[in-house]
Amino acid sequence: MIFFCGDTHGRFEHVIRAVHTHRPDAIVLLGDIQAQRPLEDELAAILALTEVWFIHGNHDTDTFYDYAHLFDSPLAERNLHGRVVDIAGRRIAGLGGIFRGQIWMPPAAPNYPSQAHYLAHCGQSNHWRGGLPRKHRSTIFYADYQALAQERADILVTHEAPSCHPYGFQALDQLANKLGVSTAFHGHQHDCLDYRPHDARLGFRAYGVTLRGITDEHGNIIDPGILPD
């Protein structure tokens, strides 16, 4: 069993509790993790009990510490962004981060298709740690999207939502269909809408996972998290 965990924003007690109670084979954090300590320290109580995987969200590059506690952690190798990994018998594809108009805001064409293209134009003074500005390390680049679309998977996890959400993107519908997934999970929006009326149009089942909520791979709610008012 795989658990998909909505935006934690620095709180992990519910994740640790759910793993101890249900013993899933793996968990996938859906971005905006914002660990207050290195991620391996935040999740030390469950690392021997389950596999930990994640995608990053937009807030994971807000500050140096948001970034370092995630991307400098030994668990950084568990980032699913831009690849497909076999996890607990399922092939899971990941696309972390968000669309930003400076780089690419679908359905418009990208202003900077790749990280290299942006780096060549943004000016050396904007480089951070010898590469992309920190903020754009959580920006979706078309080149990563296009490369992922060449793969095949069972499940797609994204931070942004597909078009069944009022603030979602048809580009993610298209990515899911190119991958051939049957199910997709997203965070970011902090809500859990009923997407079933969209199933036929989408061609896959989609689930939004709430702020600090947890949903299993079949769409069952393990922890309802914090629902919007």
User: What is the residue type of 211?
Assistant: L
- pLDDT at residue number 229: 66
For 176-215, how does the pLDDT look when each residue is reduced to its tens digit (9 = 90+)?
Answer: 999 999 999 999 999 999 999 999 999 999 999 999 999 9
Burial of residue 4 (number of CB atoms within 10 Å: 0-12, 13-18, 19+): buried
- Give the count of beta carbons closer than 10 Å to the beta carbon of residue 122: 15
End-to-end CA distance of the chain: 30
How many Cβ atoms are within 10 Å of 108's Cβ, its own excluded?
Answer: 9
Per-residue pLDDT, 124? 85
Beta strands in 88-193, from DSSP E residues, in sequence order = 90-95, 155-158, 183-186
Domain ranges of the chain: 2-223
Instruction: Choose the CATH number for 2-223 among 3.40.50.300, 3.90.400.10, 2.170.130.10, 3.60.21.10.
Output: 3.60.21.10
Candidates 103, 81, 104; CA nearest to 93 is 81
In the three-class reduction of DSSP (H, G, I as helix; E, B as strand; rest coil), residue 131 is classed as: strand
Contact yes or no for 2/88 (Cβ under 8 A): yes
What is the three-class DSSP state of 91? strand
Query: 136-147 in b/e burial notation, b at 16+ Cβ within 10 A?
Result: bbbbbbbbbbee
d(CA 219, CA 217): 6
Strand order in the sheet with 2-5: 51-54, 26-29, 2-5, 214-216, 221-223
**Chain-wide mean pLDDT for the chain?**
97
Taking only the tens place, the pLDDT of each residue in 138-159 is: 999 999 999 999 999 999 999 9
CB 215 within 8 A of CB 184: no
Confidence at residue 208, expressed as pLDDT on a 0 to 100 scale: 98
Give the residues of the chain that fall short of pLDDT 70: 229
pLDDT score at 123: 83
3-state secondary structure string across 165-212: CCCCEHHHHHHHHHHCCCEEEECCCCCCCCCHHHHHHHCCEEEECCEC
User: What is this structure's pTM?
Assistant: 0.97
In the block, residue with structure tokens 């391996």: 40
pLDDT of 126 reads 87
- DSSP code, position 53: E
Q: Which residues pair with 156 in a beta bridge?
A: 93, 184
